[in-house]
Chains A and B, each alone.
Chain A
Amino acid sequence: GENVEQHPSTLSVQEGDSAVIKCTYSDSASNYFPWYKQELGKRPQLIIDIRSNVGEKKDQRIAVTLNKTAKHFSLHITETQPEDSAVYFCAARWAEGAQKLVFGQGTRLTINP
C-alpha cells in the first residue's frame, strides 16, 4: 500500500528565515498532495495542496513543489513568523477516484523570535 515518509520530525528556525519540510511517497499513481497545519490544541487544517499535473504552487509565503519522477514533494515557508509554529502533515491520495489520504509522520516547526 501507499507509504508517506516525512522529514524532519522537528525543525527550529529563526523568525524571518525559511523552512522546508520534505515528503516522499511510494505509489506512483498518487495524484493529489495536501499539506495540513495543526496548531497546538487545534484541529488540522488544509493550508495548500498540489495535483500531479502541476510542479509548483504558491500562496503568499507558502509554496509546495512536486517532483513526480523522484516521488517527493516539499513545503516551503518563507519569512517565517511566530504564528507559523505548528505541526505540519503532508499526505498523498493513494489512488485515482479514492478519497483515502495517507499522512506523513508530521513535523513540529518552531519559530524562534
Chain B
Amino acid sequence: DVKVTQSSRYLVKRTGEKVFLECVQDMDHENMFWYRQDPGLGLRLIYFSYDVKMKEKGDIPEGYSVSREKKERFSLILESASTNQTSMYLCASNLSGGTYEQYFGPGTRLTVT
C-alpha cells in the first residue's frame, strides 16, 4: 500500500517566517508534487520533481521554493510567509511510466497570521 506522509496536519506561522513543509513517500516513486487547495480553485500545482535534485515550476510557484535531496522526500519552502499563503497544502507522488495515478498525502493546513 502506497503511503505518503506529511510532517504536520496543522501549522500556524507568523508573517515573514520561513516555513518548511515536508513530504515523504515510501514507494520509490520518481515523481513528487506540491499542490495548494483553496475553495473554488481546486488543486493548483506549485512545483513538481521528476528526480532527485530536479524541480520544475508548476502554475503558481511565486513565493515558494522546493528541495529534493533524497528520492523519498520533497520539501516545500515558504521563504517569507505571507497571509495569502494561508491554505491547505497537499503533497502527491507517482511512478514514471506507470498508470499516472497520483497518491496524495493527508495535507497540511497552514495558517499565516
A residues whose Cβ falls under 8 Å from a Cβ of B:
1, 6, 9, 32, 34, 42-46, 49, 89, 91, 93, 99-106
Residues in A with CB closer than 8 Å to B42 are 6, 89, 103-106
* Interface residues of chain B: helix, strand, loop or mixed (majority): loop
In Å, the complex CA distance between A104 and B40 comes to: 9
Contact between A44 and B43 (Cβ–Cβ < 8 Å)? yes
A99 to B50, CA, bound (A): 9
Interface of A, secondary structure class, is strand
Nearest first, the 5 A-B pairs at minimum CB distance are A43-B104, A103-B43, A105-B42, A103-B42, A99-B31
Give the residue name and chain of the A residue nearest to B30 (CB). Answer: A99
- Apart from the given pairs A46-B102, A100-B48, A101-B102, 15 other A-B contacts in the complex at a CB distance below 8 Å: A32-B100, A34-B100, A42-B106, A43-B90, A43-B105, A45-B104, A46-B101, A49-B99, A89-B42, A99-B31, A99-B96, A101-B100, A103-B42, A105-B40, A106-B43
Bound-complex Cα distance A6 to B41 (A): 10
Number of B residues, CB within 8 Å of A: 24
A1-B59, A43-B90, A43-B106 given as contacts; is B101 within 8 A of A103 (CB)?
A: no
